[in-house]
Amino acid sequence: MSSLGTEFKINVHVEPIDGLHMSDYDFTCRFYVYTDRFVEFKKKDMIMVNQDNYIACINSEEIGSGNIKMQITALIPDVDFPNGLRTEKETLYIGIKISK
């Protein structure tokens, strides 16, 4: 458990989707405890470690206390969709709890 005001470097990793690495498509990560208070990072705002790992730097003051969740929204190239992109969303607890 960490205290409010702690800064985190969170590694975001997604296994290849349809043979595409994270570096091959656009994505956005939203970190939050409650849905009305969040921080959001686009791929370009994150630190690229390698083609399948990106780092987001978060100050817990921005999202409040409780269990942190992350929602990643990926725009996967797919010719079967009208705009050529398929949206995939995944939401998960990241295993960090912030206390006051």
User: Looking at residue 42, which CATH number applies to its domain?
Assistant: 2.60.40
d(CA 69, CA 93): 4
Residues 47-93: tens digit of each pLDDT: 999 999 999 999 999 999 999 999 999 999 999 999 999 999 999 99
In total, how many domains does the chain have? 1
d(CA 100, CA 94): 18
* Cα 41 → chain centroid: 7
Give the up-direction half-sphere exposure of residue 66: CA atoms within 13 A in the CB hemisphere: 14
Which residue range is the domain that position 74 belongs to?
A: 2-99
What burial class does residue 73 get, using C-beta atoms within 10 Å of its C-beta: 0-12 exposed, 13-18 middle, 19+ buried? middle
pTM for the whole thing?
A: 0.91
